[in-house]
Structure 1
């Protein structure tokens, strides 16, 4: 299988497309889907779309009671406990998932934290890198047997145009020797999410598992809870009345629009035989010429570099002890 070029394919969808729109005509009957962070924000819209197409859905959640309440209106969702910052909890969830299903057709690594103050997990790992990347890396490794069994599984990693803020610092990923900057840490984790898709796809494509990285868009969700009032004001994501601004062409989307690219990557027949690319606005994104490009749209070289992706994969194996096996 050949490498997929990082360039748009004229999908027919766009920035204003919704999850319900892109999944129209797709039948997921008999398919099993796992969506992390599937009980809030764009995650719940992603779950709704998959469920509308007939999929069986498992949602791992740190607070299962809260997740079940949030998903009460969506029928037949299985909620199981999992904390992305707790390796033992990830292993328990994976064991439970392996007991619940013999295959996973779609895995959407959607959960995340943004711009949090410096926090470390029990291993001493910086929280944004640990939750956004390492937790999902370990989860994907543990679910590998059931992804393989689907014979055509897709893994979707939620990245962000926040990758413009930083690459992965392989010498000091946990801010032990450099000053902590919560936005740099977020950018590092989002670049890692994109590189994860590059590496996973290069490993998985020979076994019919494909991976995609997604920029969902700027959406007013609980993800913004760590933002300062001044940062929220500067981002212009709310209008004078405090209502979310919806301007999809300028990266400001509703949750339904924000979920669309994830759903498109997970289900679109247009992507058959493709993978390892960064997508936005329900299409493969444009490759930008440099990491310091001022462009809001497109993907920077640091987030699709196969050498960096391989290096990150090795580092992730060392830090988590997880491997595809």
Structure 2
């Protein structure tokens, strides 16, 4: 059964924290992986998952940096992995599968945003490869452990900035035939992540693996904004005249503790049992808009084109072709 893209009456909201939504949940004996788990909202997600009793594995491209930023969270298992290195992803997955029969939670949180045009050795654009293809390959590689869990959740971090034209990135994901714009590239990758959640959920729901896409809100206190022009941040009300982060969760500007809440809600809440493939924001299922309803676009809504199963299937085939990854 397809989950309706409509609010379900969650008791939590925009100002709720990760601690709020996980209160009373016991994750003892369960294993979680959080990519990007050593900075910003990823680190806060790791902290509350550990506190709830989960075994938490954090893959990191820079292990020394990860050790520094995770100081005080001594039970975290750190493993080397680079989302732009396919061999590194496979090696990480092999180590995880060798040491864990099941994986109950996979949070695909790592990402890059609006960086200058960067390509890997194969010519793949870095935002699409890191945010989309790397996580596609990783999820495929860990699929057997997710299925073995019997009741697993996969979470793809998304953004309200997912308004790119689906046809553009399905035909030209690496900006080989159109001018590169860092924000268009970012929006493309986030739209693709929503479609991946639809695709993975359609495959996994029969085996107990449910997948969600999550918009965490705007969080300035995170490494994701390192390429952002401060003038843009100020113009959108993300920072004040002194350059300090604005905290106004109802308008979408959050603390890391608030920003981590919806992905923790997606990963753990019983309110989402039997559901999947939906876009979540502010600890609620987002609203579905008409495709041409641009005036109503906000932090709480999503368009049909990035929920469309046909588009999700097209993206799936593209990801398979570009990465060579397959589900067993």
Q: What is the TM-score normalised by the length of structure 2?
A: 0.97
Counterpart for residue 180 of structure 2? 180
For structure 1, list consecutive stretches of 5 or more residues without a partner in the other structure: none
- Closer/same/farther in 2, CA of residues 226 and 292 from structure 1, 3 Å limit: farther
Assess if the C-alpha contact under 8 Å between 1:164 and 1:291 holds in 2: no
SS in 2 for 1:138: helix
SS in 2 for 1:164: coil
2:325 equivalent to 1:322: yes
Counterpart for residue 208 of structure 1? 208
Q: Give 1:302 deviation, angstroms.
A: 2.0
Counterpart for residue 258 of structure 2? 257
Counterpart for residue 225 of structure 2? 224
For 1:165 and 1:234, the matched residues in 2 are separated by: 21
Q: Give 1:228 deviation, angstroms.
A: 1.7
Report matched runs for 1:74-223 at 5 Å. 74-167=73-166, 169-220=169-220, 221-223=222-224
Counterpart for residue 301 of structure 2? 298
For 2:212 and 2:95, the matched residues in 1 are separated by: 25
Residue-pair matches, total: 324
Q: Give 1:241 deviation, angstroms.
A: 2.9
Assess if the C-alpha contact under 8 Å between 2:234 and 2:241 holds in 1: no
Counterpart for residue 239 of structure 2? 238
For residues 103-157 of structure 1, what are the alpha-carbon distances to aligned partners after superposition, in whole Å with 9 as ceiling and x for unaligned? 1100000000000111111211110000000000000000011111111010000
SS in 2 for 1:314: helix
- Closer/same/farther in 2, CA of residues 140 and 291 from structure 1, 3 Å limit: farther
RMSD over aligned CA atoms reads 1.0
Q: Give 1:292 deviation, angstroms.
A: 5.3
For residues 31-90 of structure 1, what are the alpha-carbon distances to aligned partners after superposition, in whole Å with 9 as ceiling and x for unaligned? 000000000010001111111100000000110111011112113100101110110110
- Closer/same/farther in 2, CA of residues 166 and 67 from structure 1, 3 Å limit: farther
For 2:301 and 2:242, the matched residues in 1 are separated by: 31
